[in-house]
Structure 1
Amino acid sequence: MRVSEGDVTVEAPDPRDASSEGAGDAVFFNPEMELNRDVTVAVLRAFAERTDGGAANLGGSGLARNGDALGADADERTFSYLDATSATGVRAARAAKVGYDVTAADVDPDAVELARENLALNDLPGEAVEADANVLMHQERFDVVDLDPFGTPMPFADAAVAGTRKLLCVTATDTAPLCGAHFDSGVRKYDTVPRNTDFHREMGLRVLIGAMARVAARRDVAVEPICSHATRHYARTYLEVTHRATAADKALQWLGFVYHCEDCLYREHEYGRIAHPPDDCPNCGSARCSAAGPIWLGPVADSEFVDAAAAEVRPNMGEWQRASELLETLSGELDTPSHYDQHRLCKQWGAPANKLETFLDDLRDAGFSASRAHYGGTCFKTDADVSEIREAAEPPAASERE
């Protein structure tokens, strides 16, 4: 079938023809990832604008406001982009349309041929190669590497760090191991202790970033998340890389542990590589406290960069409204390493839930910071602990209102 996304049109197999596991013999195309790809295009535009002289590196002439790259200047170097597990090549085509010098790689010769045809269909320059992504990323380096495999990205992580000069984009679709629902698998793949908490989507995102930070540090490389989100069935992060051992040391200082009470939902975090979990919950005294980590406890996004990416979202993107809303929420989101669900808390307290914005205003009026979280419509972040949240924001009982 022919599919249009943003400024490109590609040939893609009908996803209904794929196997039940989504990874059959045919080249796989997932229309549910259009939001992911729309955000990727916005990030690529914003990253080029701010990096090494800005958009002059894209075709030597910047970006036209309609998203087309302008004519190349031989004296300027175009940013290189690797779509490491390319399949149809739709990511590569969209990056090429923005103006990146793209390489689409896949081990499946049918996928390579389709990616090559899709570049030609849009009259775009670029290369499609039949190659194992790990081998290719150890052999060559690219300014931007986009790693979007089926399942976990960790088998490609070391090679991806080795092959990236500036920006490493990573998607993980194995959310159950990431979030601790498949505990043993999460431990094996991500070399950490994940926990299936009520903030499981944030847990998964921070497990992923923490794992990538540790892999990068082994190569004296630091990663800094400049935009990250957990949406639908995947976690996605954009990591700016610095090839310096001292920077890697500093990045590792953002690792640590989260302790979570399964009864009252109290949680706290601790930086460092050695856990010191409480014996009992300091809020309710319960012995049912879990420890997760090491995970990434630092910021998962740079709000200034996210604002720049939001400005690069275009109405011709299929998911432009959701992309705009997502980036707007990310920009204002607090850096706390966990979030709360208002409805979950109110159910815990046996209290009705009012409007979330009113709930957050009550927290702010009490002197705390509070923001919406992008994980869901009732999710929020705050620097208040669970007892302070209840005191500040729980609606009064009927008897008290009378």
Structure 2
Amino acid sequence: MDVSEGRVTVSVPEQPEQGAGDAVFYNPEQELNRDLTVAALRAYRDRAAAGEVDGPPPRSYLDATAASGIRGIRAAAAGFDATCCDVDPDAVELARENFAHNELEGTAVHRDANALMHEERYDVVDLDPFGTPVPFVDAACNAARSLLCVTATDTAPLCGAHFQSGVRSYGAVPRNTEFHAEMGLRVLLSALVRTAARYDVAAEPVLSHSAPHYARTYLELTSGARAADALLEELGYVDWCPDCYWRTTRHGLVHDPTTDCGNCGRTTKPAGPLWLGRTHEDAFLARTREHVKGLYDELGVARAVGRTLDRLDGELAEPTHYDQHKLFGNWGEPAIGMDGFIQRLREVGHEASRTHYGGTTFKTTADVGALAELFA
């Protein structure tokens, strides 16, 4: 079947209903992810052209696990020298056909992605595998010069729902909390930052977001042990109470957990090491937003992307969020409208914002005890 996204049309096999099977994989639910990728790539090129980063604007782009090649082909349509890599010969042939069908220059190679990334370098490396990206990250840190883009679709291990799998894959203790989407994103960022630091590379997130079935981040890479050490200082732990949803954070890789909840006194659970720093850079987010707004007629779900970025722009830089409905349910009270809820927090002097993690999620400088005093 033919599928159109942005300025390209690609041929992909009919997909099984459950997304499994032997056919070359294409995931229509990732269109928002790919639309945002196009805008972010253009924004990063503008950033480099303005002299805001070292080196010339990026040109080469690797889609390391290409499947149908849709991501690499869209990068080629955005003006990048794109390479699609896959271990499946059918996928490689399909990517070649799709480059030709769209009259785009591009390379499709039948290789193991890790082997290729240990041999070649690219300005931008994009990891969008099925499941965890961890098996590819070491090689990607070797191959990427400027920007590393990473998608993780194994959300259950990331957020702690599959606890042991999360520990094995990401070298961290995840917890299945009411802020599970942010837990997953920060577990992923922690693993990526720590992996890059092993090679004296600082991998700093300039844009990140979470969606129902994946987490996605864009990391700007800078060589140097000092830069990598500085980012390691943004790692730390969250101690979380599963009974009242109180939590506290502490920076550092050596953790002295707070075992008793500061609100209800019950036993807390530690999670980490997590990335506790900002998940995006304001200037890069602004550039990306402008590109999305300018591409509403070109990108299939650009208005949805725009709404995600608008919500990101207003998020407080707190390392965790709350779910308003879960709090009110815990208190045995009926929830109130989110706009009025946020306004009330601000009126009494707390910073507060909605988040992109869900319609009833919010961030605030108030702790759960202060929230209960106001609303319970």
The interval holding the TM-score normalised by the smaller chain is over 0.9
CA contact (8 A) 1:258 1:268 kept: yes
After TM superposition, list the pairs within 5 Å mapping 1:84-163 onto structure 2: 84-163=64-143
Identify the residue that residue 15 of structure 1 maps to in structure 2.
15
For residues 78 and 205 of structure 1, the distance between their equivalents in structure 2, rounded to whole angstroms, comes to 26
| Aligned positions of 1:235-254 closer than 5 A | 235-254=215-234
Whole-Å separation in 1 of the counterparts to 2:83 and 2:357: 33
> How big is the shift at 1:352?
1.8
CA distance in structure 1 between the aligned counterparts of 2:197 and 2:153, rounded to whole angstroms = 23
Deviation at 1:23, TM superposition (A): 4.6
Alignment of 1:203-218 (within 5 A): 203-218=183-198
Equivalent residue of 1:311, what SS?
helix
Q: Post-superposition shift, 1:77?
A: 7.3
**AA at the equivalent of 1:343:** H
Q: Alpha-carbon deviation of 1:227? A: 0.8
Q: Distance in 2 between matches of 1:51 and 1:137?
A: 23
2:345 is aligned with 1:389:
no
What amino acid does structure 1 have at the position aligned with 2:45?
A
- Distance in 1 (alpha carbons) for counterparts of 2:27 and 2:57: 32
CA RMSD across the alignment: 1.5
The letter for the 1-side match of 2:289 is A
Aligned partner letter, 1:171: T
Among candidates 286, 308, 311, match of residue 290 of structure 2? 311
Pair member with larger Rg = 1
Distance in structure 1 (CA, Å) of the matches to 2:220 and 2:330: 40
State the shift of 1:303 in Å. Answer: 2.2
Superposed, which structure 2 residues align to 1:3-402 within 5 Å?
A: 3-16=3-16, 20=18, 22-53=19-50, 79-287=59-267, 289-313=268-292, 314-315=295-296, 316-392=298-374, 394=375
Contact 2:45 2:58 in 1 (8 A): no
Q: Distance in 1 between matches of 2:117 and 2:245?
A: 43
Identity %: 57
Provide structure 1 residue ranges, at least 5 long, that are not aligned to the other structure.
56-75, 396-402
Contact 1:303/1:330 (<8 A) preserved: no
TM-score scaled by structure 1?
Answer: 0.90
Amino acid at match of 2:354: R
> 1:279: how far off?
2.5
**Structure 2 residue identity aligned to 1:169:** C
Q: CA deviation at 1:142?
A: 0.6
Q: Distance in 2 between matches of 1:150 and 1:345?
A: 34
Q: Is the 8 A contact 1:226 1:302 kept in 2?
A: yes
CA deviations on 1:99-134 (whole Å, 9 max, x unpaired) are 011111001111111111111111111111111110
Distance 2:244 2:8 in 1: 50
Deviation (angstroms), 1:78: 5.8
| 3-state SS of paired residue (1:239) | strand
Deviation of 1:304 (Å) = 2.2
CA distance in 1, matches of 2:244, 2:105: 57
Return the offset for 1:384: 1.1
